[in-house]
Structure 1
Amino acid sequence: MIGLLQLKSWLNSHYEFLTEEDLDFFKPHLIEKSVGKDAYLLTEGYCCREMSFVVSGVFRMFYLSDGKEINAHFFKENDFMAEYCSFLNQRPSRYSIQALERSVVVTFSHEVLLDAYNRSKNWERLGRLMAEQFSGLVSDRMEKFLFMDGKERYLSLMQDDPAIFDRVPLYHLASYLGMERESLSRIRNRISRS
C-alpha cells in the first residue's frame, strides 16, 4: 500500500495537471509487488505486458550479445520501468529486466494504460511527456557512445548518479559503460591517483 501512496505523491509532484478523477481511475488497476534479488520481471523473447513504478530497489535491463550480457539501462526508485518498445507495441522483447536487490514495484498493464489514454486527455498528455523523456534518455545514451571515450562516460555517470556505484556491481557498470571490468578498474585507479 505504501507503494501506491508513493506513486500518487510522485505523480502529483511531477504532473500537476492530473486530477483526482484521473488518479482514481487508475488506482484499482495498480498492483504492488515485492521482487526478490536476482528475480526477473521480463525475460528476452517474451512480451512486456506491464509497466512498473519502482518504489524501492534497483533493476538492470540487459541483452545478450554472443552469449555475453550487456547492460543497457538501470532503473531505481521513482523510475517508470518497462522495455518500452515491447510494452508499447506488444511484441517480444530483445531485453531482460532483473532485480539487483530486493525491490518493490507498482505495476499496471498495457490495456489499462490504453484505456486511461482513451478516457482522459491528461493521461494522454502524461504518455506524451513520458515518451519525450524516454526519447531524450535514448538520445543522450547514444551521444555518449558517439562522442565520449570510456573515461568520459564513467565521469559523466559519476556526476549524474554517484549513488549507483554503491548499489550496482562494478562488472554491471562496466558493461553499461561499454567496457570490460578491468578497463573500468584502470580508469578508476588513474582518477584516484590524480
Structure 2
Amino acid sequence: MFTEHLLCASYCYQCQSQVPPRSRHCSTCRVCILRRDHHCLLLGRCVGFHNYRPFLGLLLHATGVLLHVSVLLGPALSALLRAHTPLHTAALLLLPWLMLLTGRVSLAQFALAFVTDTCVAGALLCGAGLLFHGMLLLRGQTTWEWARGQHFYDLGPYHNLQAALGPRWILVWLWPFLASPLPGDGITFQTAADVRIMGS
C-alpha cells in the first residue's frame, strides 16, 4: 500500500519539490494543488481537494437558478417572439445587440432577449459541467486522470462520493458548506488496488 503511494508521487520542477500523488502544478496559480482537478477561469482559481465540494455546489445551484430564471422569462419572451416574423425572431435570439443597434427592438425587448439568452447559455454550460464532474465524481477521477484514462482511485460510486464530499454527501448537495469532513488529508489516497488487497 505504502509503496504504491510512493510510486504515484512525483517531482515538480517548477516548485522544485516532491509533490503528493494526484497533485499537479498550476502555471496560473504558480503552486502545486492537492488533488488538482483544473484551473477554473470563472472562479480565477484552481479546483482541488479543499474546494471541490463547493465547486460542485456552485455548478448545481447555478444550473438550477439559471434554468428557473429562463422558465420565468419564457412566457414574456414567447409573447415577444410571436409578435414578429421568423427571421426577426431568429435575429433577436441570436444577435440581440445588433437588433438593438439597428433600432429593430426597444431597450426592454433587447434586455428580455439578452437576459434570457444569457440564462439559457449559462444553464447549458453549468449543466454540462455538472454532468461531467458528476461522472468524474462517481469514477473517483480528476479531469487530468480522466484525460489519461487512469482509474487508480476508483473505489466504487458510494466510496468515491464519500471521499470527495464527506460522510454527509447526500446533504452536501443541498448545502455545500455543511460540516462534512473529508476522510483524507489530500496527500495520501486509497487506491482500487489497496481495496482489492485488503478484501482478499
Pair in the same fold by TM > 0.5 = no
When normalised by structure 2's length, the TM-score is 0.26
When normalised by structure 1's length, the TM-score is 0.26
Report which of the two has the higher share of strand. Answer: 1
Q: Which has the larger radius of gyration?
A: 2
